[in-house]
Structure 1
């Protein structure tokens, strides 16, 4: 509250001679996107920006001592994700270690702690003439009712469409805090084509909302192109080497981000990759002397970094969705860059949220 008042006073001093008219059109810099002049108290998006990010808003003028700001006419991509991130942190517990003390150590991976990655999900595909499932892909809980995954995971030649999502466990056979949630709907990105490696991102809507706890909780989404660190963490139940050998325990591995030019040279233009690697859409990881990588069965799972941009604690930012690669331990793996698809994700997961 004090931060908010101080910022408003500073804005007032800087703009004491300007006169703004509520309802006038304005343009938000630097995007030049359309806005409308509103009292700061009536523009939740800008108000949150001031309080949580300590950023001075763009002003139209004043009405008495109240600041009039340029408020976005339409919801800005990333705003809802950041708001929900702060909301979901309320489900964390102070005594948790948050998974943030992992030593650099799923090819080359090590097991995770029970509450290190509470957003991890496994997609289950039905086995014929059985009530059991094959856990063939990973995913990330991003809201009370949605799982983020790879679009190609929404249909398997082996098992068809996934029918359930497994949450709350690190071992696939564990029954402690185990939740199997029925899938209501699978939603591939509208531009995804099964014969292409582009737009390989999708969503799974659960039939009922999850019950949040230290074992099951959404992750945040990275809303900006830039990744503030040079390494990311991949997690999954995939093969532990290129010749097979799937892990029943959730594994984690720290991976370096491969330079775009090097990654692009590693992949020839093919029918599925006609334009090569596209930096805006892809993130490449996992090439180096340590030979750590993701592998078959990890697809759909997250690339993540620790969230440390604001007061939000014990949270991860999902920067990528594991997509495809050549083998498991040589050439870089390719992941779908989440920030490129933020608007589509927000419009699908939180369509009714407004400022």
Structure 2
């Protein structure tokens, strides 16, 4: 995750409940999260739905390669591009983790029983970049481990909506340094039209299944390789609602090209079709853009420079 300088990831809001009440009494609540500013180390329990997904082979843990979101006691949400070259037997997931080495007293882990990539995922365009991972056994909830709420169908995360991204991705766009401690950063949602215009200049299609965030004309904060699959969330009162899944970008925390996320809300029915009788807590989030910190209106010009279209998975790009 790229942060400015050294580290890098209210208005009138109408909320109403959609779907099952099974997770709504616990989802999106982080009782130990009192952080206001981003660009720093997270604290234990601040993001209790954050998952660290590790690649293992022949009993050897090769470390973190993608993030994920705990959405029920049995399911994790992540990005489909993270799982293109191996199956569930190679995956171990860590819950309640803050540090990638050393002590994590509130941590537990599970293997994967199955990985379900969206059937319409397109690796060329990164459309439908969403995956579900079923745990080998349920995880118990605590102050340090609990699910996020998910944006329901018809949710609107308008341009300027304050959003938080978390992960253990790289700290610099061209570097190899990765953090030991979970990183957190606040970046605003970028208007759909601004994101479409930015990527249209280099012939990359931004679809309705995507949502963008970043600091246009400024950069310095955003996701990077290793953050793939991790959550982008926004807050209403005491609830945190996931709007996106880290998917791809041209360069980490780029001032011209915002980070692109898979938009969660279009997949409500698909997610519920697998999670069965205990689905995630879905909440409709609607926000008028005038109620949030504004994002500058920009003239975005096509680029003639060579660029690198990179998924934000450390495993895939190292």
**TM-score higher than 0.5:** yes
| Normalised TM-score (structure 1) | 0.66
Please tell me whether residue 256 in structure 1 is matched to residue 191 in structure 2: no
Aligned with 2:104: secondary structure?
Answer: coil
- Partner residue, 1:84: 22
Please tell me whether residue 241 in structure 1 is matched to residue 167 in structure 2: no
Q: What RMSD over aligned residues (CA atoms) do the two structures have, in Å?
A: 2.7
Superposed displacement of residue 227, structure 1: 2.1
Tell me if the contact between 1:112 and 1:251 (Cα under 8 Å) persists in the aligned partners: yes
Counterpart Cα distance in 2 of 1:327 and 1:269: 15
| Bigger Cα displacement from structure 2, 179-188 vs 162-171 | 162-171
Aligned with 1:84: secondary structure?
Answer: coil
Aligned with 1:267: secondary structure?
Answer: helix
Counterpart Cα distance in 1 of 2:99 and 2:90: 19
> Displaced runs of 4+ in structure 1, greater than 3 A?
159-162, 268-271
- Using a 3 Å threshold, how does the CA distance of structure 1 residues 317 and 148 change in structure 2: closer, same or farther? same
Aligned pair count reads: 258
- Partner residue, 2:157: 227
| Normalised TM-score (structure 2) | 0.74
- Using a 3 Å threshold, how does the CA distance of structure 1 residues 247 and 154 change in structure 2: closer, same or farther? same
- Partner residue, 1:291: 220
Superposed displacement of residue 202, structure 1: 0.6
More helix as a share of residues: 1
Tell me if the contact between 1:123 and 1:162 (Cα under 8 Å) persists in the aligned partners: no
Please tell me whether residue 122 in structure 1 is matched to residue 52 in structure 2: yes
Mind listing any 5+ residue stretches in structure 2 that lack a counterpart? 1-14, 280-318
- Partner residue, 2:35: 102
Given candidates 244, 250, 253, the residue that maps to 1:326 is 250
Tell me if the contact between 2:29 and 2:148 (Cα under 8 Å) persists in the aligned partners: no
Superposed displacement of residue 85, structure 1: 3.8
For 1:112-169, what per-residue CA distance to the aligned partner results, in whole angstroms no more than 9, with x for missing partners?
Answer: 1101101000111125x55223210000000010000001112358x99741101111
**Larger Rg over CA atoms:** 1
Counterpart Cα distance in 2 of 1:237 and 1:202: 19
Q: Pairwise mapping of residues 309-320 of structure 1 onto structure 2 (< 5 A)?
A: 313=238, 315-320=239-244
Superposed displacement of residue 347, structure 1: 1.4
